[in-house]
């Protein structure tokens, strides 16, 4: 599978690069970003943190706003940021042009309903196709962590919980914790998967926790001034599900913080250290 480089920038002794490739999973061209710390040029095979962004975002938001490169360089951690959905003229978007569905809002599920089923298979892309591409083309190991924000936090939780053994570390910022019970999730799951709500459970972190066979510790940060906290994110549901299942969860409610990248940048170092420690010991 050929990679076309889009851009390359020196950063914190390493390199931030963007690539384009044809995705067989999504049946369209996709872009992703990768941060390669200095150790990547020294022959080391490094662990990878996959970052999943939220609604309306692309691969660029995290890399430009989170300020993760400096500590990633110190820790020897590769960061990979895919796009949030399939793109291109052939990919259907929301027929009403809404921002919370379709382009920029793939929700990291495998769609089963038309016209979405051909392209909107972000779960398989993130879990299988993209890591295979990264591991074949960059100096990385098969030690993987996953994290994300909002819709991407939902994606990180679901990718790890549905695929035990695939990831060695897991965290999230302000995740959509219970998508089958919130407006964003009901809209996305209803259209991508159909109206049978029993099928939605396969993509809801709270439901998956009840059946999880792996006890991968989860770190979650949530701002208490987040405008989406009560209606869309529902961290209390995640906490209750983890407690009922006996699943290790550290949920930190951060006073005064909102849903923005100011919030992410404030706590990203804690998450990078959380992942690096687990990946070193994996």
Bridge pairing between strands 28-36 and 46-52 = unpaired
* 266 alpha-carbon distance from chain centroid: 18
Q: N- to C-terminal Cα distance for the chain?
A: 29
Residue 46 sits at φ, ψ, to 5 deg, of: -105, 150
From 119, 226, 247, 271, the catalytic residue: 226
Beta bridge partners of 33: 18, 81
The SS3 assignment for 65 reads helix
- Dihedral, 156, 158, 160, 164 alpha carbons, nearest 10: 180
Angle formed at CA 188 by CA 82 and CA 166, multiple of 5 degrees: 45
Neighbours of 168 (CB within 10 A): 19
Beta bridge partners of 250: 219
8 carries an active-site annotation: no
259 carries an active-site annotation: yes
Neighbours of 189 (CB within 10 A): 25
From 53, 147, 150, 171, the catalytic residue: 150
From 119, 154, 259, 274, the catalytic residue: 259
- Dihedral, 229, 182, 66, 86 alpha carbons, nearest 10: -170
Q: Residues 72, 12: contact at Cβ < 8 Å? A: yes
150 carries an active-site annotation: yes
Quote the strand ranges of the chain, DSSP E: 4-11, 14-23, 28-36, 46-52, 78-82, 140-148, 169-173, 218-223, 249-254
Active site residues: 150, 226, 259
């Amino acid at each position: 599978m050929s990679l076309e480089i889009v851009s390359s920038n020196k950063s914190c002794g390493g390199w931030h690069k963007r690539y384009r490739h044809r995705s067989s999973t999504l049946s369209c061209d996709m872009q992703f970003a990768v941060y390669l710390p200095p150790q990547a040029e020294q022959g080391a095979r490094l662990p990878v943190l996959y970052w999943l962004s939220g609604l309306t975002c692309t691969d660029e938001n995290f890399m430009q706003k989170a300020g993760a490169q400096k500590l990633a360089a110190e820790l020897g951690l590769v960061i990979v940021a895919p796009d949030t959905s399939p793109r291109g003229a052939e990919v259907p978007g929301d027929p009403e042009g809404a921002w919370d569905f379709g382009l920029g809002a793939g929700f990291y599920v495998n769609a089963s309903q038309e016209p979405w089923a051909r392209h909107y298979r972000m779960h398989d892309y993130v879990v299988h196709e993209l890591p295979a591409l990264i591991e074949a083309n960059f100096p990385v190991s098969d030690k993987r962590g996953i994290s994300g924000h909002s819709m991407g936090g939902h994606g990180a939780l679901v990718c790890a919980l549905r695929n035990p053994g695939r990831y060695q570390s897991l965290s999230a910022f302000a995740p959509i914790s219970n998508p089958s019970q919130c407006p964003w999730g009901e809209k996305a799951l209803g259209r991508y998967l159909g109206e049978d709500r029993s099928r939605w459970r396969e993509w809801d972190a709270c439901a998956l926790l009840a059946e999880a066979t792996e006890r991968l510790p989860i770190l979650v940060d949530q701002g208490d001034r987040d405008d989406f906290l009560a209606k869309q994110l529902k961290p209390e549901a995640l906490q209750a599900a983890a407690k009922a299942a006996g699943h290790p969860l550290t949920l930190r409610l951060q006073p005064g913080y909102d849903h923005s990248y100011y919030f992410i940048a404030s706590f990203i170092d804690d998450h990078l250290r959380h992942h690096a420690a687990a990946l070193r010991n994996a």
